[in-house]
Amino acid sequence: MSESTLNQDEIIVALHEVIDPEAGVSIVDLGLIYHIQMYERRIDIRMTMTTPACPLHESIRAEIKAAIGRCLPEISEVSVELVWDPPWHPDRMSERAKRQLGWFGR
Q: How remote is the C-alpha of 61 from its chain's centroid?
A: 9
Residue range of the domain that includes 83: 3-101
Asked if the structure places residue 54 within a domain, the reply is yes
Mean pLDDT of the chain: 90
Instruction: From residue 77, give the alpha-carbon distance in Å to each of 33, 38, 43, 80.
Output: 18, 10, 6, 10
Asked if the structure places residue 87 within a domain, the reply is yes
**Would you say the pTM of this structure is higher than 0.75?**
yes
Asked if the structure places residue 106 within a domain, the reply is no
CATH of the domain at 44: 3.30.300.130
Give mean pLDDT, residues 29-58: 93
Q: How confident is the model at residue 18 (pLDDT cuts 50, 70, 90)?
A: very high
- At residue 7, does pLDDT exceed 80? no
pLDDT computed for residue 53 by the predictor: 86
Q: How confident is the model at residue 54 (pLDDT cuts 50, 70, 90)?
A: confident
